[in-house]
Structure 1
Amino acid sequence: MNEVVISTAYITLGQMLKEVGVIDTGGMAKWYLSEHVVYVNEEEENRRGKKLVPGDIITLEDGEKYQIVAN
């Protein structure tokens, strides 16, 4: 499982996807989430503004997993 380290209280799903290189720009988040299945804590999520906090686990449709970790 990959870790996404944040130094703020939360990161949005769109920002996280950009941070890990799944999408190139923040504007692509809406398109990506409409075309691909993404799970946050094993629940399907399609809101790019979903706030992710330390401990959340994000799973992409290819099986890649990321955990949000506080700095």
Structure 2
Amino acid sequence: MVLVIHIRDEFIKLGQAMKLADLVSDGVEAKYVISDGLVKVNGEVDTRRGRKLYVGDTISYNGQDVQVEGESE
């Protein structure tokens, strides 16, 4: 099952997106799982917590996929 998060702005940072999707409890946890190489963005491991995610991007962590979508009009 793919979770969906909606963003209002042009992008959201990876750590923020993980918190929004409830994949992690806080920014510290996000920092560690990202820097440990446990998170994939669009199918590739990314270790940058500040990685900008745009509409259409997908995050994968701990068996869960999250799709970034724009805000519903």
- TM-score above 0.5, yes or no: yes
Cα offset, 1:33, TM superposition: 1.4
Q: How does 1:1-71 map to 2 (within 5 A)?
A: 1-35=2-36, 37-60=38-61, 62-71=62-71
Count of matched residue positions in the alignment of Structure 1 and Structure 2: 70
Distance 1:63 1:29 in 2: 15
Cα offset, 1:4, TM superposition: 0.7
Runs of 4+ that moved beyond 3 A = none
What CA RMSD, in Å, does the superposition of the two structures yield over aligned residues? 1.4
**5+ unaligned residues in a row in structure 1: which ranges?**
none
SS at match of 1:58: strand
Instruction: Give the letter aligned to residue 56 of structure 2.
Output: G
* Length-normalised TM-score, structure 2: 0.84
Between the two proteins, what is the percent identity of the paired residues?
34
Query: Aligned pair in 2 of structure 1 residues 2, 26: CA closer, same or farther (>3 Å)?
Result: same
Distance 2:35 2:46 in 1: 10
* Length-normalised TM-score, structure 1: 0.86
